Amino acid sequence: MTTVTTGEILIDIDDVGMSFTGAAGERLNVLEHVNLQVRDGEIVALLGRSGSGKSTLLRAVAGLLAPTSGQVRYRGTPLTGANPGAALVFQSFALMPWLTVQDNVELGLAARGISPARRHQLALQAIDRIGLDGFETAYPKELSGGMRQRVGFARALVLEPDLLLMDEPFSALDVLTAENLRTELVNLWATTDFPTRAICLVTHNIEEAVQLADRVVVLGANPGHIIAEVRVDQPRPRNRRAPGFTALVDHIYGLLTGRDTEIAAATPDTGTPFRTPLPDASVGGIAGLLELVYAKDGRADLPVIADELNFELDDLLPLVDAAALLGFLLVDSGDVILTDVGSNFTTANIHTSKHVFATQARRRAPLVRTICSALVGSSDGSARADFFLDLLRRGFSAEDARRQLELAIDWGRYGELYDYDTDSGRLTADPSGPAATS
């Protein structure tokens, strides 16, 4: 299918904001002033880090969430419920384990009241389209991850939606399977009888966005907002090694990290654990990244490092975010630059490194600072971990809240700011730690 930049507007996102009320009644802003159109004939990728609200925005387009402010319109009509022209493919497959492949694909048709004979025929056609012939009577437990996701695609495409919505559909798959499915999606899109008029894809993978999309919408976080829109004019199939492809990846990487990360590294953070969550990075991972940058004379091109290590660029972004939050790195036009404090942390002995880390974490990581303050204010220098977990659940999902606490414990233990006893479930301040004398 040829990219049509002037096609009919299928989705019009008009000044959309989204907020939720936390457990304590506080207002949590997820999206703010988002304006975007999706047109007939294009693939649009929503690209952003954790906290950018990209999945929330996709659900608003699907009509599963109502905006707090602004409107989402489908073919000019404001959505007041599920989008009649959209079908959604989930990251977690979301198949009914007690149903066969055939029955899973027929679910949406049954909900529309299609007769059994007709939906059986349509489901078989969709199963054939995505290459699952012969597995009609299989159950999800008999299928590989890639085959399960194919069922998810068939279940969406059998509805012949105007708009195919995909929420990180390849992230739960191994690298080779994901690449194979991306290629097959591009091939299907190129066919003349593909039933879908536009695709909107949520991803955190820059190369995936450039490989698939005609337009990449880059979102910033806390709250989610559009930083930039980047058009990808390269013909399909796209060569990841081509100079134009690499240049686009570097450009989007700079957009994704340069603005927010540079500011974060320049000044101590005064935010809250909700507005500035801990990046999902271990102390060892942060230290390893800093050592690589130090070995390159303190400045490195992160895409080059990722290529040398045979990692995706996105796998390194949480490490960059964490190092920048702690003041160890700056980001400049896609390059990462070691700061003086980062150099001190990297080259010092273990005791001094712990001291540097503890000082930076206590000053710049809001959740670590919150835990330290609570322990200092308690009568015996300790507190239940569940206390912090309950607070975190006001602004995070249960899973994300637990991961935030795990990261804070890891960082605090390394810096000897506090210790955690698994048996008692209590955090205790470490009076003899390297930060005690600072």
Tell me the per-residue pLDDT of 162-215, one tens digit each, with 9 for 90 and over.
999 988 888 777 777 778 888 888 888 888 878 889 999 998 888 889 999 999
Q: What pLDDT score does 438 carry?
A: 43
**DSSP element (H, E) containing 129:** helix 116-129
Q: Where are the beta strands (DSSP E) in 241-378?
A: 299-301, 329-332, 335-338
Is residue 5's pLDDT more than 70?
Answer: no
**Domain match, 127 and 175 both:** yes
Q: What pLDDT score does 336 carry?
A: 86
Which of 319, 345, 371 is the C-terminal boundary of a domain?
345
**DSSP element (H, E) containing 217:** strand 215-220
Please report whether residue 110 resides in a domain.
yes
Give per-residue pLDDT as tens, 297-330. 999 887 788 778 777 777 788 898 899 999 999 8
User: What percent of the chain stands above pLDDT 90?
Assistant: 36
Q: What pLDDT score does 101 carry?
A: 87
Name the pLDDT band for 398 (thresholds 50, 70, 90): confident
Q: What pLDDT score does 404 carry?
A: 93
**Domain match, 137 and 173 both:** yes
**Domain match, 392 and 363 both:** yes
What's the average model confidence in pLDDT over 143-156? 84
Please report whether residue 350 resides in a domain.
no
59-63, 72-76, 112-116, 434-438: least confident range: 434-438
Please report whether residue 138 resides in a domain.
yes
User: What percent of the chain stands above pLDDT 70?
Assistant: 92
Task: Identify which has the larger pLDDT, 346 or 50.
Answer: 346
Q: What pLDDT score does 2 carry?
A: 39
**Domain match, 362 and 340 both:** no
Phi/psi-derived region of residue 382, left when phi > 0, alpha when psi is between -120 and 50, beta in every other case: beta
**Domain match, 221 and 79 both:** yes
Global pTM value: 0.68
Give me the CATH number covering residue 334: 1.10.10.10
Please report whether residue 435 resides in a domain.
no
d(CA 324, CA 342): 9
Name the pLDDT band for 140 (thresholds 50, 70, 90): confident
Is residue 418's pLDDT more than 70?
Answer: yes
**Domain match, 280 and 328 both:** yes
What's the average model confidence in pLDDT over 44-68? 89
Q: Measuring CA to CA, how many Å separate 372 from each of 231, 375, 411, 416, 433?
A: 46, 5, 12, 11, 12
Token duo for residue 134: 């012969």
**Domain match, 289 and 414 both:** no
Q: What pLDDT score does 15 carry?
A: 93
Is residue 267's pLDDT more than 60?
Answer: no
Name the pLDDT band for 10 (thresholds 50, 70, 90): very high
Q: What pLDDT score does 3 carry?
A: 42
Q: Which domain holds residue 139?
A: 9-255
Strand-pair category, 86-89 with 382-384? unpaired
**Domain match, 334 and 363 both:** no
Q: What is the mean pLDDT of the chain?
A: 84
Closest CA to 207 of 316, 49, 53, 313: 313
d(CA 316, CA 203): 15
Domain count, the chain: 3
Give me the CATH number covering residue 15: 3.40.50.300
**Domain match, 73 and 108 both:** yes
Name the pLDDT band for 290 (thresholds 50, 70, 90): very high
**Domain match, 376 and 327 both:** no
Between 243-266 and 313-325, two packed helices, what is the crossing angle to 10 degrees?
20
Is residue 1's pLDDT more than 50?
Answer: no
Please report whether residue 351 resides in a domain.
no
**Domain match, 112 and 193 both:** yes
The CA-based angle 66-68-73, given to 5 degrees, is 50
Please report whether residue 438 resides in a domain.
no
Q: What pLDDT score does 261 carry?
A: 41
Please report whether residue 305 resides in a domain.
yes
Please report whether residue 352 resides in a domain.
no
**Domain match, 182 and 127 both:** yes
